[in-house]
Amino acid sequence: MAYISETLAGARILITGGAGFIGSNLALYFQQHHPKARVIALDRFREHTPPSTSLGHFKNLIGFRGEVLGADITCDLDRIAKLDFDYLFHQAAISDTTNTNQTLVLRTNYQAFLDLLEIAQSKGARVIYASSAGVYGNTPAPNVVGQGEVPENVYGFSKLCMDKHVLGRSCRAIAPIVGLRYFNVYGPGEFYKHKSASMILQLGLQALKHQEVKLFEFGEQQRDFVYIEDVIQANVKAMCASASGVYNVGYGGSHSYNEIVRLLQQELGDFKVRYIKNPYAFFQEHTCADISPAQQALDYQPMYDLQKGIEAYVPTIRALAQCPC
C-alpha cells in the first residue's frame, strides 16, 4: 500500500544502510509503489560472514532494480557529495546495541550523520533519519520525546547526539530534517542481523529448529514491538513533514517476551521455554512509545498490533527455518 498520494516521478532518493533491514525494505517499497522515483541504495556491506558487527547483506537487495552503491559514510563523503538526491533516508549505523567500541559507534552514528546533513543541506534535500528508543535507557515508560533521555549504552548516546543536534539552535535547516526513534522493529529482512535481529525472529527460529526457546529471566521485560510495514509508513509520511522534528515510532503499546512466546505457540505449536541469566547490565526493562506527536504531525497510524504482525511474519520465519543460508 502506498502511504502518500504523490507519484514521486523523477524524485531522487538516497537510502544509506540500503542493504540493511530497514533500508532494504524502504528501497523495495519505493520500487513497488513509486516506480518512477530514482532510488540509490548505499551501504558499506559486510566483509565477513558472520559479521563482527551488524552490516548489510547483498541478499536483502535481490530483486531491487535501482542503483546500488558500495560506500562507507565515514570516509566516502566526496563520492556521496557528487550524488544528486532530493531525499536522504539515513538508516546506516552500527545498529548492534551491544557494541561497546565508543570510537567506532560515535564516528559512524554521529559524526558521519553531521557530515551527511551538511551534504544534504547543500542540495536542499529533505532528511529522514533513524534514531532509536535506546535514547531512553531505563527511564520508566511511556517514553516521551524530550523527557527521560538517559541512554544506558553508547549506541543510545550516539542517537541522542543526533537528535539533540537536529533540535538544537545551531542546526539551521534549509529543508526539514525528521528523526524517527524506532522502538523494537521486526519483520522480513532482518535475518542477516543475526544476534541483533528481533526476539520475534530469534524465538521463532529457535522454536522451529529446537522446540525450545531461551529467554532472559523471567521473560516479563516489556517492549514496544513495531512491525516493519509501520516503520516504512512513518518514513514515507515523514517526507511530507512541514518542519524539522524528532518522533517516536512504535506501536504505542508494549508486550512481554512471555507474550511473544504465547503468540508464537499459537502459530507454530507448543515448545518449551528455558530462562537464562541476562548478561547485559544495560538491558531495557520496559519501553512504550508515546506516538501521539507522530500521529498528529506525520499522520502516522500503525496498523500492526503484535498479533497481526506475528501472523504476517510467520510464513517468512518458517521459510527461514528451512533455509541453509
Ligand X SMILES: NC(=O)c1ccc[n+]([C@@H]2O[C@H](COP(=O)([O-])OP(=O)(O)OC[C@H]3O[C@@H](n4cnc5c(N)ncnc54)[C@H](O)[C@@H]3O)[C@@H](O)[C@H]2O)c1
Q: Applying CB under 6 A, which residues contact ligand X?
A: 16-17, 19-23, 43-44, 54-56, 72-74, 91-95, 108, 130, 132, 182, 184-185, 193
Cα 30 from Cα 210, distance rounded (Å): 37
CB of 155 to ligand X, least distance (A): 7
Cα 202 from Cα 198, distance rounded (Å): 6
By C-beta, is 10 or 62 nearer to ligand X? Answer: 62
Outline where DSSP puts E strands in 59-162. 67-70, 87-90, 126-132
CB of 270 to ligand X, least distance (A): 28
By C-beta, is 9 or 114 nearer to ligand X? Answer: 114
By C-beta, is 138 or 265 nearer to ligand X? Answer: 138
Cα 92 from Cα 115, distance rounded (Å): 13
CB of 93 to ligand X, least distance (A): 3
CB of 141 to ligand X, least distance (A): 16
What is residue 127's DSSP assignment? E
Residues 6+ apart with CB under 8 A from 148: 136, 137, 139, 140
* Closest residue to ligand X using C-beta atoms: 20
Cα 120 from Cα 127, distance rounded (Å): 7
By C-beta, is 20 or 204 nearer to ligand X? Answer: 20
CB of 193 to ligand X, least distance (A): 5
Buried b or exposed e, range 77-102, using 16+ CB within 10 angstroms: beebeebebbbbbbbbbbbbbebeee
By C-beta, is 90 or 126 nearer to ligand X? Answer: 90
